[in-house]
Chains A and B, each alone.
Chain A
């Protein structure tokens, strides 16, 4: 009909709403998605028309992916950036009309969207079978009845049960399993939360979906791949520090987006993409600007305090006041004026300042190091903590810390805390295999 065609012509010119799903090896490209022209990253699959899968899908991520795919409204399409090598599940066998493209290829993405809206491409059919996900057991015709005041399975799901609370009131406790593709959380993190009101009463970390592959995640796919490589082979100090600054800026962009500063986050991502050692002044200005942004300080002050006893390495410990840094014992950093940046407080605000300051410092070091090359041997300070042969990777310890940190926190604070720890579930899975990959 004429109205539909008119609307379709307008809609094809809109920015494609994309819901990204980051799989194995996809974290390094994740920072590029928001910067693609004509693409808008959205917070919920219901707001999206294109599902962008980046990286490989392990068996643990497959069922959630199919579920999220079905939660996109029609007209929907799926684009996959598998990267090399395609060793995990081939999505084309499970999802049908998946468009495979090179990572970072925004033109294919926009092309798929334009075809989808213009009518040249059919919408993806649902991936999961047309069955009720939960059986309507119970006594009555709507599944109600059974034991207890709220017994039975009305419309297929039970009702929440009451539970005591330190408040003194026994009200319902919602058990939630926020899955591996929940945007405020790092990709792959599954939390089993018991929520009473908007405060978290119990939390457990679900099984790491990146552990599905028999040999563990390929170290080349991690976003700290360059650092793992540098732990084994000689690398110029400038390259390492540049990668560190880029990593911290990308993390900062994610945090800014979580706190409602979406356009600022795009600006930081743009800076991170084009980062060179000459940009040290810009990064310093950015760090100062965000430090002075009082609303951001206000939103993160006192949230998620981590003491040095809980975590004794990496930016998390340095933000709690402990000057522990593997670069102190590294001869490659002698004589270029390196001293660890330290903040105090150990809360999310301190961690934000810490990483921004470290990014500025990293560029400064990259400028001063010149052509100096680092030899492998001593432990290498990665962006999350020290990487040395035979020891677990930093993310594993940080993930173990979560249950203790999150209990008793209100929802918004919990999301801020998780984001401020800079977790990578893939790195935690790689670290869970015996020590760092050789």
Chain B
């Protein structure tokens, strides 16, 4: 538990440290900007709409495939720990599991879910 505490402390500390570099600069110069200085950069033109939009995330099919494999990762983590004890049986079982998922990748690839333009 002490280890996690230490890790958490480190995470928070480094996060604050990174923010600190930002604060040094802000402390040195914090005047306000005019509206033309705040226009998003598009090569000199004005934006017509806000960028926030219902963005068409075309790789959503690949994201679903990733979800499936992420669940497989969850199973592989404990499997890695007990693998040597369990022996060849463990190898065979995980192999079967993986082959089934690989068929999923094959299907996705053939259906064009991995490309989107």
Contact = CB atoms under 8 A, between A and B. Distances in A.
Q: Do chains A and B touch in the complex (CB under 8 A)?
A: yes
Contacts of A160: 49-50, 53-54
Interface in A403-438: 408-410, 413
A3 interface: yes
A70 B44 CA distance: 10
Interface in A146-183: 154-155, 157-160, 162, 165, 167, 169, 171-172, 174-183
A299 interface: no
Nearest to A169: B56
B49 A65 contact: no
Interface residues on A, range: 35 or more
A234 interface: no
Given A67-B45, A130-B35, A197 B53 contact: no
B117 A159 contact: no
A45 interface: yes
A155 B45 CA distance: 18
Contact of A174 (B29, B43, B44, B49): B49
Given A126-B37, A408-B117, A410-B117, A159 B53 contact: yes
Interface in B12-43: 24, 28-29, 31, 34-37, 39, 41-43
A190 B43 CA distance: 9
B107 to A, nearest CB: 19
B43 A180 contact: yes
B86 interface: no
A181 B43 contact: yes
Contact of B42 (A155, A182, A197): A182
B111 interface: no
B36 A126 contact: yes
The B interface, classified by DSSP as helix, strand, loop or mixed, is loop
A289 interface: no
A71 B37 contact: yes
A91 interface: no
Contact of B56 (A132, A167, A179): A167
Nearest to A163: B56
Nearest to B50: A157
17 contacts: A46-B41, A61-B44, A67-B45, A70-B39, A71-B41, A126-B34, A133-B39, A157-B50, A159-B49, A172-B53, A176-B47, A178-B42, A181-B44, A190-B43, A197-B57, A199-B58, A413-B117
Interface of B: 24, 28-29, 31, 34-37, 39, 41-58, 116-117
Given A68-B41, A157-B48, 20 more contacts: A64-B45, A67-B36, A70-B34, A70-B37, A70-B39, A130-B36, A133-B35, A133-B46, A134-B46, A157-B49, A159-B50, A160-B49, A160-B50, A162-B54, A172-B53, A174-B49, A176-B42, A177-B46, A182-B43, A199-B56
Q: Which 8 A-B pairs have the closest CB atoms?
A: A64-B44, A182-B43, A197-B56, A179-B43, A179-B44, A172-B53, A179-B45, A128-B36
